[in-house]
Every structure is written in C-alpha cells, then in structure tokens.
Amino acid sequence: MRISVALCTYNGGKYIAEQLSSILNQNYVIDEIQIGDDGSTDDTIDIINDFKKRHENIFLTLNQRRVGITDNFENTIKRCRGDYICLSDQDDIWHPDKLKIIIPVLQQNPKFQACFTNASFIDENGINIEGSLWESFGVLKEKEHLLDPERLFEHLLRFGNIATGATMVFKAEAIKDIMPFTKRYNFEFHDFIIARKLAMNRSIIPINKKLMDYRLHEGQHAGVFNRKYWGDFFFRKKAILSGRIKDVAYQKALYHAWYYYKSSVNEFRLKENSSNYLVRKCYVESKKEWDEIKKQSWSQYDCFNDGYLIKEYTSNRKRSLCYFVCYTETTPANSDLKYINELKKHFDQIVILTNYEYMEKYTDCEFEIFDNKGYDFGFLYQAINGKDLTGYHTISFVNNSNILLNNKNLNEFFEWFHQQDSKFCGLTDSSEMVNELDESYHIQSHFLIFKDEAIILLQRFFTIINFEKFFAMDDKKQLKHAIIIECEIGLTQFMIRNKIKPTSWFKSVEFSKEYNIPLETINLHIMFWKELIEKGYPLIKKKIVAKDLNNIIN
C-alpha cells in the first residue's frame, strides 16, 4: 500500500514547515509528498527545498504560470502514484493519528472511494480556538451531525460544500470519476467538485473525527461563518432535511437546486452521443440519481419544476422500515398508538404486525395480519420470510411490551444511533444466564435495529435455525424457553459470529460496575427501571406499570 500527499502552496512560508513536519510524523509511512507551487514570491520554495534535502519522499513542481487553486490541485494529484491520495493545504497541521484512523475506514469499506473529516481550529499562532469545522458549517451540534452518506449529494445541492479538501483522502481508483475538474461557477473549488461527483454515487463518507488543526488567518481562501450563527444554521438545516420547512424559502431552495443539478445533467448530455461509454453511463446514472432525490425531497410538497407544479412524488430510494408487533385481543391500546406515532418521526415506513383485523380504524400505517405463533419472533419471521429487503438501508423490529413515558420521545436514542458504526443496535442489552449458557449476551429484543449487511444476516438467521420448527411446538413454556435461547440470545450470537459487533444504548455491564452486582443476574428493565428513567430512558415495561406510576405514563 502506497500513500501519496498532494500539497499545493502559494506564499505559505509562514506555516509550510509546520505542516510538512506534521505530515512526515504520521503513524503511517508517507511514500511521496507531491507539492505544486503556484508562483510563490516569499521563502516557501527555500523552506521546501530545505526539507527535500532531508527527506527523499518530497517532490516539488513549480508552475510556469499562476493557474489557481483548482487547477493546481488537479495537476498535483495527477503526479501522485499512491494507492491512497491525501489532499493538504499549506497552513494546517495534521494530527499524528489522522491516517491511522482514515485508511482502515477506506480499506474496510469497498463501496467508499473517499472520505472527509471534521477538524479543530487554531489561530495564526497555532493556539487552539473553540469549536470545529463541522460546527461552523451548521452540520454538527454536540454529538449529532447531519451528514448521512445516503443524502450527502442532496446536502451539497441544497447547502453548498461541506467537504473540506484539506481533510479529504481518496483511493487512486476514484481519479477516473473525479477528473478532470469541471468548474462551472466561480465558487466551485476542487473539493466541491470531488464531493459532488462522488456523492452522486454515494461513494464518499464523512468521518466525524477532528483529525487536523484548521488554521484561521487573514490570508486563507476559505473563511468561517460568524460563531453566533452556527446553532441557527444547524437547526435550519436539520429542519430542511427533515421536511419540516415548507414555506416559500424551502420551495425556492429546491427550485434552485434543480437548476444547479440540471447544469450537471446538461454537461453530460453534451457528450451523450460520444463513444465514451463511461460518460454516457454517468449521464444515465446521474439523471436517475436526481430523479430519486427529487422524489425523496419533494414528496407531499408543492414545488415548481421548470415552471410547472408537481405534487406527491413517491420515492425509489433506499428507505428505513420499522416493524411494530402489536398483538392484541381487543382494540389497540392508546399507549401502543402513541408509541407508533413516535416511531413515525424516525422511520420512512411503519408496518404493524398484528392479529387484529380492524387495525385500519385506529391508524393510517400499513399493517399485516398474522397468526400469533412463535411469539414476537414469529411475527417478524412471517413478515420478512421471502421478502426482498434490498430497498431498505435500515430495518427495525419493535414490540409493544413497553410504553412510552409521558413527555418523552426517542430523539436522544436516535441521535445516539446515528453516531454508531455498528450494523446491529438496540436500546438495552443483557447477559443474564439461561440454563448456565456460556453465550448469554444479547441485545434485548423489544427494540432491534439492523443496517445494511445485518439485514441480510437477519434473513439468513431465520433460515439457518429453521424457524418453522417453533410453529409445531405445543408446550408454551417450552416454546418460550426455546425462543429466548435460540432467537433472542441466538440472534445476537449469530451476528457476532458473522463479524457484526452489536451495541446498545444502555449497557448492563455499566450497571454491574456501578451497583456491584454480578452481570449475569441483571435484567435492566425489571431491576433498574427507575434508574433507567432517571438516566433518560424513554420507555417502561407494561408489566411494571401500576397505579402509583400514573404520573409518568398515560
């Protein structure tokens, strides 16, 4: 594996030595640092030549004439021969572990061709400044960020660039997709072009780590918005992305986004009849991508497309789905309907799995009627057996054994969930012993979320354990015991064996340490429901509900 750095300079003598030192001090070996200087008149060249005498991996090219930032980076990238190419400005400082964190992410995710990261701030003297790059863009507040790889292209269209070139690393194979740098507007620098072209195919990933110091000073080309607006930017962007802003400004933003994108489409259309297969393929894919974004963004809202009114598009994009198990002998409880309404805020689609044939009288959600067999996992098995789930990036499995507390919501949980790398998450876990099993750790099944490859494994799990055998078991006590062992515990252990590391919002091991109680004896919902509520847990088990709890539940 070879690593290249493409570093562009112009009168950077004040800071270039510090930047080169930080690059050379990485935990990874840097095979080459290709520097393109765009006509410096200060001591930049002398400093670089001094480094060259001591480091044979530094190469300097002097432009014969001023070409500007974008062309300078394009030419410098062309000279790179590494498998991974890192972009660098002249005045920042890399953290020592920058590549140690970035390279494994790209190695382990074949579909991603590039990444960009967050950054800390320093002033012209190298003194730390409070805040971060992503906070200044209004895409990060505390632990919540808005940069979903699935919607990154849409984000770029609506709000402009948030992928800073100095934080970018990409695979050499991405060069064919991003070059040449075709600039249509003066505000399009190299990083915007790279992000736009890769995000079109969802092949660039944001990494929420501050892996470099981004220097703020008068001579830099890219400024930072006034700090007092950061929070406002965040909440406005979040509202727009969630579709809550539907006023004229929202429609106008969509309208201009469409015209901006049309420029991309027209760019490909000019070459549509050429013999270049990749160009024609890119045109077809990019237009299809926009059609999907347009349907996603404008669903249920009146917007203008080329002066004509469009309404209620449906979406073909990958979506999130929640299966809610609502077994009931009578009409659904109000607490169940409240829970379902809360879940609607976090999933594109809710499907209620029930035995109650008149469910449509009580909710506008989709529902499927199933026999009550095999307990909750039986409902889930019947729902997904034989189904094509490739249209979903997230699938959740929730049952109605819990009640949503008064004045509580799931926002905090989902803020946590979106920060997780794990493909298999839940609200709580357990390590309780069942018949002295060695492998008893599992995510509790009342709230499970599967992402990407974990969805495939979920379907495979039901096939491997031959779930239909449970339908033939008449002894309810024996059936329940088998479901706990083979499904609730078995599913988590199956994920672990297939290299999916599960994680839960609240962890039994933390309660075990805090209260000095053996881990295998802990059931969080039974033993620590009061403590869970105090720590922000939004649910409570129905079996715990009593009259003296009326002040916290419906």
Under a CB-based contact definition with an 8 Å cutoff, are residues 323 and 398 in contact? yes
pLDDT top residue among 167 and 254: 167
Tell me the C-alpha distance between 520 and 458, whole Å.
26
Q: Of residues 238 and 545, which shows the higher confidence score?
A: 238
Q: DSSP letter string over 483-517?
A: HIIIIIIHHHHHHHHTT---EEEE-HHHHHHHHT-
> What's the distance, Cα to Cα, between the start and end of the chain in Å?
59
* pLDDT confidence of residue 290: 53
What are the tens digits of pLDDT across the range 481-515? 888 888 889 999 999 999 999 999 999 999 999 99
Please give the pLDDT value at position 502: 94
Of the listed ranges 110-114, 171-175, 289-293, 364-368, the least confidently predicted one is 289-293
- pLDDT at 86 exceeding the cut of 80: yes
**Rounded distance between C-alpha atoms, residue 167 and residue 164, angstroms:** 6
Q: CA dihedral in degrees (91, 97, 99, 105; nearest 10)?
A: -130
**In the predicted model, is pLDDT for residue 312 greater than 60?**
no
294 in any annotated domain: yes
Q: How far is 317 from 126, CA to CA, in rounded Å?
A: 45
Q: What is the pLDDT of residue 449?
A: 96
Q: Of all residues in the chain, what percent are helix, strand and coil, respectively (each to 5)?
A: 40, 20, 35
Q: Does the residue 107 lie in any domain?
A: yes
Residue type, 217: H
In a domain, 400, yes or no: yes
Q: Are residue 30 and residue 171 in the same domain, yes or no? A: yes
3-state secondary structure 9-20: ECCCCCCHHHHH
Residues 208 and 343 in one domain: no
Supply the CATH number for residue 515's domain.
3.90.550
Following DSSP, what letter does each residue of 177-231 receive, concatenated?
HH-S----STT--HHHHHHHHHHTTT-EEEEEEEEEEEEP-TT-SS----GGGHH
Lowest mean pLDDT across 85-94, 188-197, 235-244: 235-244
Task: Domain of residue 289: give its range.
Answer: 246-310
More confident residue, 259 or 176: 176
Average pLDDT across the chain, whole number: 82
Per-residue pLDDT band for 306 (boundaries 50, 70, 90) equals very low
User: Do 169 and 297 sit in the same domain of this protein?
Assistant: no
Task: Let me know whether 271 and 324 are in one domain.
Answer: no
Residue 243: pLDDT band with limits 50, 70, 90: low
Range from 79-93, 302-316, 407-421 that averages highest in pLDDT: 79-93
pTM of the model: 0.50
Distance CA 102, CA 262 (A): 33
pLDDT bin (cut points 50, 70, 90) of residue 546 is: low
Is 554 a domain residue?
no
Q: What is the mean pLDDT of residues 124-136?
A: 92
Cα within 13 Å of Cα(421), Cβ side: 11
Q: Is the pLDDT of residue 126 over 70?
A: yes
More confident residue, 85 or 465: 85
Inter-CA distances, 504 with 426, 468, 514, Å: 5, 29, 17
47 and 163 part of one domain = yes
One domain, residues 258 and 229: no
CATH assignment at residue 121: 3.90.550.10
- Please tell me whether residues 167 and 258 are part of one structural domain: no
- Per-residue model confidence (pLDDT) at position 6: 98
Asked whether residue 529 is assigned to any structural domain, the reply reads: yes
**Among candidate residues 73, 219, 193, 50, the one with its CA nearest the CA of residue 61:** 73
Last residue within a domain, chosen from 289, 310, 331: 310
* Average pLDDT over every residue of 201-211: 92
- Residue 317: pLDDT band (50, 70, 90) is low
> Which has more confidence, 390 or 280?
390
> Which pLDDT value is given to residue 275?
40
Q: Please check whether residues 75 and 145 belong to one and the same domain.
A: yes
Residue where a domain terminates, one of 270, 286, 310 = 310
Looking at the chain, the whole-number percentage of residues with pLDDT higher than 70 is 81
Give the residue-averaged pLDDT of 95-107.
Answer: 95
The CB-side HSE value for 297 (13 A sphere, CA atoms) comes to 27
Contact 93, 66 (CB under 8 A): no
What's the pLDDT at 268? Answer: 46
Say what the pLDDT of residue 261 is.
Answer: 53
Q: Which pLDDT band holds residue 183 (cuts at 50, 70, 90)?
A: low
Point out the least confidently predicted range of 309-313, 340-344, 514-518, 542-546: 309-313
Task: Please identify, among 310, 329, 356, the residue that sits at the C-terminal boundary of a domain.
Answer: 310
Domain count, the chain: 3
In eight-state DSSP terms, residue 547 is: G
Comparison of pLDDT for 294 and 336, the residue scoring more: 336
Model confidence at 436: pLDDT above 70:
no
Asked whether residue 217 is domain-assigned, the answer is yes
412 has pLDDT over 60? yes
24 and 100, same structural domain? yes
For 214-238, write each residue's pLDDT tens digit. Answer: 998 765 545 566 777 787 778 777 7
- Residue 304: the pLDDT is 34
Nearest partner of 219 among 63, 92, 86, 365, judged by Cα: 92
Let me know whether 326 and 306 are in one domain: no
Beta-carbon contacts of 469 under 8 Å, excluding residues fewer than 6 positions away, are none
Cβ contact 145:206 at 8 Å: yes
The CA distance from 537 to 532, in Å, is 5
Burial class for 153, CB neighbours closer than 10 Å (0-12, 13-18, 19+) = buried
Same domain? 471 vs 545: yes
Within a domain: residue 251?
yes
Is residue 254 domain-shared with residue 132, that is, in the same domain? no
Structure tokens at 12: 């950077």
pLDDT tens-place string over residues 517-542: 888 888 888 888 888 888 889 988 88
Percent of the chain with pLDDT strictly greater than 90 = 41
- Residue 315 resides in a domain: no
pLDDT in tens, 284-295: 554 555 555 555
Residue with the two structure tokens 């991003």: 178
